[in-house]
Chains A and B, each alone.
Chain A
Amino acid sequence: GAVVSQHPSWVICKSGTSVKIECRSLDFQATTMFWYRQFPKQSLMLMATSNEGSKATYEQGVEKDKFLINHASLTLSTLTVTSAHPEDSSFYICSASRQGRHTEAFFGQGTRLTVV
């Protein structure tokens, strides 16, 4: 299957700092990528849809000024958690789909963020 890579796999940061997470589609171009968050023992929650060359579409309740999404190219989307706090500690996962009809989404391996 196609490969979606996230970096870093895990990060620990101090409260008040910002953290950037990268999501890359390694062998295909992705016009749209999705960002999810997952708390322990819970399901994935969609945060936003990242569109190449345009603004991201955020799900209800997700603060766009806190979770900055940039999709500068067809192979790279970034999520920046600004002014992180301990409650932002979570597992962040991105996904991307190949261009084409009814194609499956491929997920990155996830990024474990711990804010101390």
Chain B
Amino acid sequence: DAKTTQPPSMDCAEGRAANLPCNHSTISGNEYVYWYRQIHSQGPQYIIHGLKNNETNEMASLIITEDRKSSTLILPHATLRDTAVYYCIVRVEWEWGGTSYGKLTFGQGTILTVHP
């Protein structure tokens, strides 16, 4: 799986947008970009994923550059509860029987601290 590079830590003021960058310059055509976050002593929580188009859901937006070598996760209005470790993962997927399979390999992630 392609390697990702994220800044080790970031700060954000409550109510402001948090923009978390991720570099994945060796990503290949069939690899998806996934974002998860982990709050202390809990299992990771899915945020969003995409292939090449920008994606948005109720939690966040994902902006993927045209060459797919980097992406940005945007939390539009960060709250204190968004303080967590954010992981950017690229995942190669294969299909069998109409279902996609692929393991997630976690890097070190970005520690996002939202302060009042």
Residues of chain A touching chain B, judged by Cβ–Cβ distance below 8 Å, are 1, 4, 6, 31-32, 34, 36, 43-46, 49, 91, 93, 95, 97, 99-110, 112
Contact = CB atoms under 8 A, between A and B. Distances in A.
Interface residues on B, range: 20 to 34
Contacts, number: 65
Contacts of B105: 46
B7 to A, nearest CB: 15
Contacts of B46: 1, 104-107
Contacts of A106: 46
Main secondary structure of the interface of A (DSSP, over half): strand
B43 A110 contact: yes
B66 to A, nearest CB: 20
Contact of A101 (B43, B87, B100): B100
Given A36-B106, A43-B106, A101-B99, 20 more contacts: A1-B46, A6-B43, A31-B99, A31-B101, A43-B108, A43-B109, A44-B44, A46-B104, A46-B106, A49-B103, A95-B43, A95-B44, A97-B101, A100-B99, A101-B100, A102-B49, A103-B100, A107-B43, A108-B43, A109-B42
